[in-house]
Amino acid sequence: MNVTATHPYVAALLAGSGVLPKSPTAWFDARRAAALERANALSVPTTRDEEWRFTDLTPLTKLQVRPAAAAVKVSTADIAPHVVPEASMRLVFVDGVPVLEFAQQGALPAGVTVIALSDAMKSHAALVEPWLAKLAGSEKELFTALNTAFLQHGVFIHLAKDAQLKAPIHLLFVAAGNGVAAYPRCLIVAETGAEACVIEDYVALGGEAYLTNAVTEIAVAPNASVRHIKLQRESQQAFHISTCAVTLAKDARFQSHAVTLGARLSRNNLNISQHGEGVSVEIDGLALIGGRQTADTHTLMDHAQPHGTCRQTHKTIVGGAAHAVFNGKVFVREGAQLTDSSQQSRNLLLSDKAHVDTKPQLEIFADDVKCAHGAAVGQLDADHLFYLKSRGLPEAQARNLLTYAFGAEIIDHIPVPSLVASLEKQVMARTEVSI
Amino acid sequence: MINSNAKTILEVRNLTATVAGVDILKGINLTVRAGEVHAIMGPNGSGKSTFSKVLAGHPAYEVKGGEVLFEGKDLFALESDERARAGIFLGFQYPVEIPGVTNSAFLRLAYNTVQGGRGKEELDPLEFDDLVREKMKLLEMNPEFLSRSVNDGFSGGEKKRNEILQMALLEPKLSLLDETDSGLDIDALRVVAGGVNKLLTPDNACVLVTHYQRLLNYITPDYVHVMSAGRIIKSGDKSLALELESRGYDWLLDDKKAAA
């Protein structure tokens, strides 16, 4: 592969992509080559790009990263705090490379397949080929193009017709090395009537600086249901850029829970496309940041067909000199009648230097729809504070409890008790609450 | 219960207060002794709710003049949370909802904070659970309200029961119940009032702020005060409430005008 990137930083990132083994299929080699070509052609976005108006990637371009070579040694004790007991299966990736000794596979129900994406390209080509690198396009997206160009250690999760996976699949991404770029990739395909819950958990062992560039593609067939839980608890020096692209067929259901606590700079893209009537979507987001962190969330709910329902709540809690960004697009296309879509952006600023940019963006081309959106940026409510103080809680404790509660409302919706407990603990620690 | 030898819990002298620059309280005088129940009635906008909020330390109200002694000490030297720990309790007309905090965690936090402030023993979650379930029986509350978020999705009656549950746990010396009866159906009112009655002792006192005489059929006041335009214009015993019920407020306001 030729490396002739137009942008020096992209050229540096792409160094080493040429040594990747050829994939087992010609069609994927072609897609990877196309992605590489796009990566070469695209520049690192700047704040002059509308999609990156509020988030400056300059700090990322100053970090030299290389793809993980030999994985840093990680012990079972390092993994232990991140175990989710409710999970039916766990896969562990260290710096983007799967480490089989940490994987745990219970008996998966009939019809549920979880295998390496590189194997699936061959063994399950008919299921993979329609979606992989198709749902998440590389045309304009540098980071998606880079991820596809580096695609090597992905996961393929398949649920056959009516397969029910009650217990979640846990994908644990552990960052251990300094100056490493990891390119996690996941494809989830749920056939008609199937049901699944997948957790993507990004954690760090130390305070290293590195780049996680993740892409997840999810195809939900008629009447199937997928719940996607994404927890971003990277190191405070890390960069985390991720894209999740979802396509929903008729009567499909999709629930997203995204919690952002870590990274010096993070960008979370969630693009949901409604391709059949009557889908039902819930999008919950929480970013709790402080110091000099930046957390940018861009979502798109594209109602291209009638009778879609979407409920979105995005919350940010911003302390220190941190900066949160939310851009929530909702498209209701011509003919997408009886769409019922609502979006709430609620933001809590904890300091004078904290900063939030929130941009609801509704574009409606159908006339018989119900769409609502609201954005609120503020401090804690004075009546709430007075209520707690009138019950004896000192000012600081009352503030912390309300801050915690603001975030807990999102966390409590995650139907995995151990995750709720561990996230609540992290939020309590950040808000100095003890209850 | 009136006992003229009982110690004075609250002494209000010529209290004036404003909200957003507007005079609301224009000289309130009131003495509350241990064991007493006072009802403060009056038309809308008379300042009766403001009075209870000023005593509890609501930040929206600014005290302009006069003084308030709580057990002989300057009340306004204390922050609202310090007043709560010292033994003042405000039952809210509109209790706020706090999604994300379970009622049990909130109640235990409040209980332990107040207990700690009074130099008493704090309870761990299991011990507290026993205590709160016992107190909930007073108010015929379903224990499921412990696992729900504070007041979140509670009906009006459930919120008021939750307020009185907090009164039961915090054991205040002075309870200020702001329109605790408003919006309650008769069954809920009976339960809430019954709860309050069981919590009244010769050592504590209660000030009921109410718009309706109906509450006083269930909680018998020792004194009834009528507020109008930021002042107490008439005080009497429980028969005054009945008179107000049959005659309304206008005759009092007319009397006052005539006197002026």
Residue A303 lies in a domain: no
Residue A245 lies in a domain: yes
Burial class (CB in 10 A: 0-12, 13-18, 19+), B173: middle
Phi, psi (degrees; rounded to nearest 5) at B132: -70, -35
- Interface residue ranges in chain B relative to chain A, Cβ cutoff 8 Å: 56-60, 79-81, 83-85, 89-90, 92, 95-96, 98-101, 105-106, 108-110, 113-114, 117, 149, 166, 170
Q: What is the pLDDT of residues A129-151, one digit of tens each?
A: 999 999 999 999 999 999 999 99
Q: Which residues of A touch B83 (CB under 8 A)?
A: 390
pLDDT over 90 percentage in chain B = 86
Residue A99 lies in a domain: yes
> Distance (Å, rounded) from C-alpha A32 to C-alpha A35?
5
Q: How far apart are the first and last CA of chain A?
A: 57
Q: Count the Cβ atoms, other than its own, within 10 Å of residue A99.
A: 18
> Distance (Å, rounded) from C-alpha B57 to C-alpha B84?
10
* The two three-digit tokens of residue A312, written as one number: 């979105």
Closest CA to B92 of A384, A306, A24, A413: A384
Closest CA to B150 of A318, A347, A348, A412: A412
**Nearest CB partner across the interface for A387, out of B60, B95, B100:** B95
Confidence of residue A102 (pLDDT cuts 50, 70, 90): confident
CATH no. of B8-259: 3.40.50.300
Taking CB atoms and an 8 Å limit, are A397 and B113 in contact across chains?
A: yes
Q: Which amino acid is located at B219 in the chain?
A: I
pLDDT of residue A18: 64
pLDDT of residue A86: 95
Q: What is the pLDDT of residues A299-313, one digit of tens each?
A: 999 999 999 999 999
* The two three-digit tokens of residue A61, written as one number: 């371009």
Confidence of residue A73 (pLDDT cuts 50, 70, 90): confident
Q: Is the pLDDT of residue A11 over 90?
A: no
Distances (CA, A) of A157 to A113, A216, A256, A349, A431: 6, 11, 17, 39, 36
Q: Which amino acid is located at B138 in the chain?
A: L
* The two three-digit tokens of residue B137, written as one number: 């029986």
CA distance B114 to chain A (A): 6
**Nearest CB partner across the interface for A392, out of B59, B96, B117:** B117
Confidence of residue A1 (pLDDT cuts 50, 70, 90): very low
> Distance (Å, rounded) from C-alpha B159 to C-alpha A333?
43
Q: What is the pLDDT of residues A47-56, one digit of tens each?
A: 999 999 999 9
Distance between alpha carbon A160 and the CA centroid of its chain, in Å? 24
Q: What is the pLDDT of residues B140-160, one digit of tens each?
A: 999 999 999 999 999 999 999
Q: Which residues of A touch B149 (CB under 8 A)?
A: 405, 409
> Distance (Å, rounded) from C-alpha A218 to C-alpha A233?
22
Taking CB atoms and an 8 Å limit, are B84 and A386 in contact across chains?
A: no
The arithmetic mean of pLDDT across residues A325-346, rounded, is 96
* The two three-digit tokens of residue B60, written as one number: 């929206």
User: Is residue A272 domain-shared with residue A389, that is, in the same domain?
Assistant: no
CA distance B90 to chain A (A): 7
Write down which residue in A245, A276, A307 finishes a domain: A276
State if pTM tops 0.95. no
Question: For A224, left (φ over 0), alpha (ψ -120 to 50), or beta?
Answer: beta
Closest CA to B160 of B151, B152, B169, B168: B151
Q: Which residues contact B24 (CB under 8 A, 6 or more apart)?
A: B17, B18, B47, B50, B61, B230
Residue A282 lies in a domain: no
pLDDT of residue A177: 86
| Residue of chain A whose alpha carbon sits nearest to that of B108 | A435
Taking CB atoms and an 8 Å limit, are A391 and B117 in contact across chains?
A: no
CB pairs under 8 A between A and B: 82
Tokens 């209850």: give the residue. A435
> Distance (Å, rounded) from C-alpha A164 to C-alpha A108?
10
CA distance B228 to chain A (A): 26
Q: What is the mean pLDDT of chain A?
A: 93
Q: What is the pLDDT of residues A190-241, one digit of tens each?
A: 999 999 999 999 999 988 899 999 999 999 999 999 999 999 999 999 999 9
Taking CB atoms and an 8 Å limit, are B100 and A382 in contact across chains?
A: no
Closest CA to B99 of A346, A231, A228, A429: A346
Tokens 């009638």: give the residue. A306
CA distance A386 to chain B (A): 6
Residue A231 lies in a domain: yes
What 3-state class would DSSP assign to B5?
Answer: coil
Taking CB atoms and an 8 Å limit, are B81 and A395 in contact across chains?
A: yes
Tokens 């709580």: give the residue. B70
Write down which residue in A223, A257, A276 finishes a domain: A276
User: Is residue A161 domain-shared with residue A28, that is, in the same domain?
Assistant: yes
Sign, Cα dihedral of A48, A51, A53, A56: negative
Write down which residue in A260, A276, A292 finishes a domain: A276
**Structural domain count of chain A:** 2
The arithmetic mean of pLDDT across residues A385-413, rounded, is 94
**Nearest CB partner across the interface for B110, out of A382, A393, A412:** A393
Q: Which amino acid is located at B10 in the chain?
A: L
Residue A347 lies in a domain: no
Q: Is the pLDDT of residue A2 over 70?
A: no
Q: Is the pLDDT of residue A8 over 90?
A: no
Q: Which residues of B touch A435 (CB under 8 A)?
A: 101, 105-106, 108-109
pLDDT of residue A82: 95
Q: What is the pLDDT of residues B5-51, one digit of tens each?
A: 899 999 999 999 999 999 999 999 999 999 999 999 998 889 999 99
pLDDT of residue A69: 72
Phi, psi (degrees; rounded to nearest 5) at B183: 80, 5
> Distance (Å, rounded) from C-alpha B235 to C-alpha B15?
17
Closest CA to B107 of B60, B141, B58, B56: B141
Q: Is the pLDDT of residue A417 over 80?
A: yes
* The two three-digit tokens of residue B249, written as one number: 């407020």
Q: Which amino acid is located at A414 in the chain?
A: I
* Residues of the domain holding A413: 383-435
Least confident of A408-412, B230-234, B247-251: B247-251
Q: Are A159 and A196 in contact (CB under 8 A)?
A: yes
Question: Which residue out of B53, B80, B102, B169 would a mutagenesis test of the A interface target, given it has the greatest number of A Cβ atoms within 10 Å?
Answer: B80
The arithmetic mean of pLDDT across residues A73-100, rounded, is 92
Total number of residues shown for chain B: 260
Q: Are B258 and B233 in contact (CB under 8 A)?
A: no
- Residue-range domain boundaries for chain B: 8-259
Closest CA to A290 of A242, A350, A241: A350
Confidence of residue B260 (pLDDT cuts 50, 70, 90): low
Burial class (CB in 10 A: 0-12, 13-18, 19+), A243: buried
Q: Is the pLDDT of residue B258 over 80?
A: no
Q: Are A191 and A113 in contact (CB under 8 A)?
A: no
The arithmetic mean of pLDDT across residues A242-269, rounded, is 98
Confidence of residue B259 (pLDDT cuts 50, 70, 90): low
